[in-house]
Structure 1
């Protein structure tokens, strides 16, 4: 960079300060500022030889070397706009639009608003801007101290250790140019900035602007303005009437350490926080976390994540798609417009949750989920999730979950464990297939059962239930049901009615006996056809099908099949191929090439 500061760094300006209500006025203790002010005053007024140069209308700071420190001091009330950068072996100090006076160890720049100071021998920089609304942008990686004096000041520190003393007025520390995430707490402890940086943000700083990365900003007990900037930020403003600006990214405002009830209303109204606190939580914050009290969290127009924490909380979704997490306690979940989800994902105990009903949550929890919620997410236990007549999404996650979507075009997702979709309350016929296609439920209903669901339960109609390639349990319920397990060690329960287990799509030979023993299907498959099933359908190969002591209808299909009826009046149909039928006891009807004990 040329020594006069022309170029990118010279034009580098602070981002605009956030708006908000008037901030508190806190004068920093004299003992904290004495060394800085004394050093700056001594340097500026010790009769340093000043180089003659053109003047601007207003006077800026005196810049000189005191020992191993570079002192930038201005006792006037003019607002300074100071920037520093390193040009080779020299530090360039600029105060745009002001006359900067070179002191000991420094020389004039090519224009009156800048000076040149060799960096050799320097170990620190001190800025004392005096009165007025000043800004400092320091690009030199030396440990630096910033004293704003009076006025509303803005400081952007260096990559080295910075100490920020605000003084009176509403003062701001900006990490807008930080290259990594920052963690900042307004507490006067030297642990702020990027990892290992060790900045110290004093308690008389009222505003913090984060970096473009994912930051953590923690306020004081006073009135703060915290702006996360870009990135996914976590902001804990602390007590006091704070302004919390999320900006771009997915930002979280947390009241997790509060024990008193908290009310949060997203938008530019000072009604959030504890009673009388008066926080403003703007609409660019997407995630809100409550405390352990009975909190009320209300979204605005954008998608929100509302986490009530412990306590009996009320969560009011926005007009967009929200995720509501009540936490422990008897919580009320109001979805609002959009597609809203209630989640119990962090729970380890079993959860029962019903859209449009109470008594939800863990045993005795008594959550309420209103009918404007469209989605339920289970936890790590064996959960029971029930939808309503709208289009719902039920996601069981871990555990052996039971999913009942109700009417409407539902999406039913199992997750880990052995999960079940039930149509047990239906009287109309149901068709359900574990193939992930949106063609399940009653005629035209359009449910979609994901492939990570293992089990199906029908209703009281004549249902058709089809499994997948893994182990399935198919329970037809009442009615004359058709069950097809596909591959895997399946179990078939017919229920009341005349029920059929079909292997109609198989090409390999199968052996099936209706006796509730897990030795059915292809060789080694291990299906179990229970005694509540009455009928069997074979595949295209030479199958061996054996009924029970009830009246059975056994159909061989293609291939040379062996059909055995056992007791009662059976109907044995060989189909194509050279078939053998043995009716057994009762009056049996047989269609086969070879028949024994058949009366017709």
Structure 2
């Protein structure tokens, strides 16, 4: 006979995992009355026996358990001899080995809320076979619950519309009918749970589920309903599946896998450790704005999905499309994945990886580590000193953009933490190719790669290094720049200009716009090429092999003593090759091609008949 117990209104099973500061509502499983467990107290005064009863028929091996109104039946296995226990008392002579089937029903007169707990802490029982299920739970009217407690080993549970499998074989082990609430409280070990059916349990479960992980690295997947999933201790993977789910990582480093398509408005709460919400399987664009608080509504995920990436989340991973991810005030880990992503870290020491695609990355305040990955990436550095950032470009032509700055910058692509303004201490690695300066007087030094060094406003000093470098000069006079090409074939690009230019590649500060007092750029003698704009430009080359492109306007181009290529473009141009083996192409308009008095071969491409030789 089951001894008298006082069962409090809320029966609580002691959680067997690590402690967590997250409240776990609904994890009330009932317990051994001999244990010091909240919710159950053994009374010394005599009481009437509980109405819940168990009858075992040895001839058939059937244990029949009837649950009375508003009562809890905790069914378990005794560790010492394998006896079948109900509320910690033996079910007559039943053992889990001798019991072929367990039939659980409620009192026909019961209209309250009954709960059945299958406690596998001391081992499994009631396994099904090809012939029959091992456990049948059939309750009735009222709000009834079926709860499962895992073992200390590696458990695997499958919940489907037709039942429960807890051995990962082809047969369902239990059927559960007329039950409104499911709770699975897993034990220690690396556990697996899914409510999406299979393994003999049919299609996905039709009810919402509460799942509580414990110690171990668990993989937990909810149902199509509105589930609550708790990871517990360990590095867990949580999936809500369909429905508006609440997912709690709790202790350690957890991953919230949002799978390949929108699956409801989910809420993510991290806990301790580094926790990541992953949209890596998505093929449509996702937009995520991380938050330090959890709200009842969110706008993260795909358009209209309504996820809430809330408190305790450190990382977000994008999918295959063009994603937008904004970090919170902490130390964030953002991964764009494939696609042309826009990633912003915000405050904190962030780690951001663009992945494949042409990404735009802004670290924000803090000492950030920023990696572009494959593609032509841009790193935006904002308007003020925002921390000592490290930039890794990856494959492609990558740019660090300081265009919002007004203070003077010193930047060198030498892999040393000596870049930025003042003592900012940025570090542009060797796989950064391009730099954009601000409105101050900047000093920018390139590397052996083909660099694009754009000083923008101010009196800048730009040095290209060993590669084939380009120095854009913008649409208007932007300061008195000094340009050193270095080795390689280097180009100063004035192609956006509309006013007349006067340029001579002689290392003198007499280059650029002729308006007013003149721009007075100083283009060094180690620069080979000039691209002009739409004004009437005058350009004189040097002893190197120059390419001078006049573009639009009535230009006068002189090559100097190298093997030069002079391109008149639109307009009535005058081209003088000078010494060397030159190529003269007048382009549109009435052009004058002057072979000069020097020696060497001249290749002429006149615009006949409007060309004078």
TM-score normalised over the length of structure 2: 0.52
Q: CA deviation at 1:394?
A: 3.5
The equivalent of 2:497 in structure 1 is 381
Task: Indicate the residue corresponding to 2:230 in structure 1.
Answer: 128
**What's the counterpart of residue 184 of structure 1?**
288
Cα 1:469/1:59, change in 2 over 3 Å: closer
Alignment of 1:17-416 (within 5 A): 37-39=24-26, 41-42=27-28, 47-50=115-118, 52-53=126-127, 57-59=153-155, 90-91=203-204, 119=224, 122=225, 124-138=226-240, 140-158=241-259, 159-160=262-263, 161-187=265-291, 190-254=298-362, 277-284=387-394, 286-290=398-402, 291-294=404-407, 295-297=409-411, 298=413, 299-302=428-431, 304-344=433-473, 347-349=474-476, 351=477, 362=478, 365-372=479-486, 374-382=490-498, 384=501, 388-390=524-526, 392-396=528-532, 404-415=540-551
- Asked whether the equivalents of residues 413 and 452 of structure 1 are also in contact (C-alpha less than 8 Å), the reply is no
Please say which of residues 47-56 and 148-157 is displaced more in the overlay. 47-56
Closer, same or farther: CA 61–486 of 1 in aligned 2, 3 Å: same
Partner of 2:100: none
- How far off is 1:134 after superposition? 1.0
Change (3 A) 1:267 1:485: closer
C-alpha displacement of 1:91: 2.8
Alignment of 1:466-481 (within 5 A): 468=586, 470-474=588-592
Please give the alpha-carbon distance, in whole angstroms, between the structure 2 residues aligned to 1:296 and 1:306.
11
Gap change, CA 1:485 and 1:62, over 3 Å in 2 = closer
TM-superposed deviation, 1:310: 4.3
Give deviations 1:197-222, integer Å, cap 9, x for gaps: 33322242112222233333322222
Q: 1:480 to 1:300 in 2, by over 3 A?
A: closer
- The one-character-per-residue Cα deviations of 1:411-441 (angstroms, maximum 9, x if unpaired) are 44455x32636217x4x5xxxxxxxxxxxxx
Q: Is the 8 A contact 1:72 1:127 kept in 2?
A: no
3-state SS, counterpart of residue 192 of structure 1: coil
Give distance in 1, aligned partners of 2:221 and 2:582: 86
Taking the aligned partners of 1:44 and 1:408, their CA distance within structure 2 comes to 89
Aligned length: 402
Q: 1: CA distance between counterparts of 2:358 and 2:571?
A: 32
Say if 2:405 and 2:440, in contact at 8 Å, map to a contact too: yes
Partner of 1:486: 607
Measure how far apart 1:132 and its partner are. Answer: 1.9
Segments of 5+ residues of structure 2 without an aligned counterpart are 1-18, 32-71, 73-114, 119-124, 129-150, 162-177, 212-217, 374-380, 414-427, 506-522
What is the alpha-carbon distance in structure 2 between the residues aligned to residue 196 and residue 318 of structure 1? Answer: 46
Q: Give the CA deviation at 1:169.
A: 1.5
Residue 246 of structure 2 aligns to a residue whose secondary structure is: strand
Q: CA deviation at 1:341?
A: 1.8
Hey, what's the Cα distance between the residues in 2 that align with 1:323 and 1:68?
68
- TM-score when normalising by structure 1: 0.53
**Corresponding residue to 1:447 among 565, 570, 595:** 565
Q: Write the distance in 2 (CA, Å) between the matches of 1:179 and 1:43.
A: 41
Change (3 A) 1:169 1:484: closer
How far apart, CA to CA, are the structure 2 residues paired with 1:69 and 1:453?
84
Q: 1:114 to 1:367 in 2, by over 3 A?
A: closer
Contact 1:92 1:114 in 2 (8 A): no
Task: Tell me which residue corresponds to 2:132.
Answer: none
Between the aligned partners of 1:368 and 1:69, the Cα distance in structure 2 is 77
- CA 1:150–1:473: 2 relative to 1, 3 Å: same
2:558 to 423, 430, 441: 423
- Secondary structure (helix, strand or coil) at the match of 1:194 reads coil
- Structure 1, unpaired ranges of 5+: 1-26, 94-101, 107-112, 352-361, 429-441, 491-500, 503-600
* Backbone CA RMSD of aligned residues: 5.2
What is the alpha-carbon distance in structure 1 between the residues aligned to residue 197 and residue 570 of structure 2? 60
> How far is 1:479 from its partner?
6.9
Quick check: 1:43–1:103 contact (8 Å CA) kept in 2? no
Q: Is the 8 A contact 2:276 2:314 kept in 1?
A: yes
Contact 1:402/1:421 (<8 A) preserved: yes
Distance 2:540 2:460 in 1: 22
SS of 2:234's partner is: coil
